[in-house]
Amino acid sequence: MTRSRSQSAHDRVLRAALDLFAERGIEATSMDAITQASGVSKATIYNHWANKEALLIEVMLFVNGLDRIPPDPDTGDPCRDIAIVLGRRPPDEFDGVRSRMMPSMVSYSALNREFGEAWRHRVMEPPRQSLKRILRRAIKAGQLPATLDLDTAMALLLGPLMYRHIFQREVSPNAHDIAEEIARTFWKAHALDLRPTLKPVLNPVKSIAAGSKGD
């Protein structure tokens, strides 16, 4: 299917902004520079995005794969569902550019608190909400205690991933293996019904999309 001129211009701006943010940093990248690099008029750009912050948010959603979030997994095994969500990772094709952008993103978010809050909400909140929905289903089904504090559960589930990202980047163990171990450990510590842990949580070679369909 042929893309519309509007969609083509939208994509060119996203790609140009991504390259400039990664190369120059966010503060040093102006909308004029993005206009020149993309070949798209400033008027057209402002028809798509109200300002640079709105464009930056969409760039971050794009490189983190959050512009195409898969539905919550519901395999019937909450432990498996948790592992699927924890095992999701951004598209490999943007690994390099994400690494180059992150220092600038952290700095920009610290200086622009409203943007920082918007970024955290749009980029970091979706997996938290997905995990909470899985836990609520398990609580309703009597598989987890009704007294389980969801915010504490988020810290227990996401904390190991943050530690790995900050302190073990060079080691880089398989994301699915880490996700399985975190999910199993959490489930054994909190579940009222341990039967779901008797079978493998995930096939390590399965894709995320395939994993959501069950074994």
- Domain of 14, in residue numbers: 5-49
Residue showing tokens 């979030």? 69
Sign of dihedral through CA atoms 101, 163, 150, 65? positive
44 and 121 share one domain: no
Same domain, 200 and 105: yes
**pLDDT (tens digit, 9 = 90+) per residue, 41-71?**
999 999 999 999 999 999 988 888 877 777 8
The confidence score (pLDDT) of residue 125 equals: 85
Structure tokens at 49: 């995005």
pLDDT at 48: 93
Distance in Å from the first CA to the final CA of the chain: 34
More confident residue, 35 or 204: 35
pLDDT tens-digit profile of 186-215?
999 999 966 655 455 444 334 333 444 444
Give the mean pLDDT of 167-178. 61
Q: Is there a single domain that holds both residue 83 and residue 147?
A: yes
Which CATH number is 35's domain given? Answer: 1.10.10.60
Q: What is the pLDDT of residues 115-165, one digit of tens each?
A: 888 888 887 788 899 999 999 999 999 999 999 999 999 999 999 988 876
pLDDT tens, position by position, 95-121: 888 888 888 888 888 888 888 888 888
Q: Tell me whether residue 55 is in a domain.
A: no
> What CATH number is given to the structural domain containing 126?
1.10.357.10
C-alpha 44/C-alpha 61 separation (Å) is 21
What would you report as the CA-atom Rg of the chain, rounded to the nearest whole angstrom?
20
Each residue's pLDDT tens digit, 179-191:
999 999 999 999 9
Domain total of the chain: 2
- DSSP codes of every residue in 86-130: HH----GGGHHHHHHHHHHHHHHHHH-HHHHHHHIIIIIHHHHHH
As to burial, measured by CB atoms within 10 angstroms (0-12 exposed, 13-18 middle, 19+ buried), residue 135 is buried
Q: In sequence order, which ranges of 112-202 are alpha helices (DSSP H)?
A: 113-119, 125-140, 150-167, 175-190
Q: What is the pLDDT of residue 120?
A: 82
Total-model pTM: 0.70
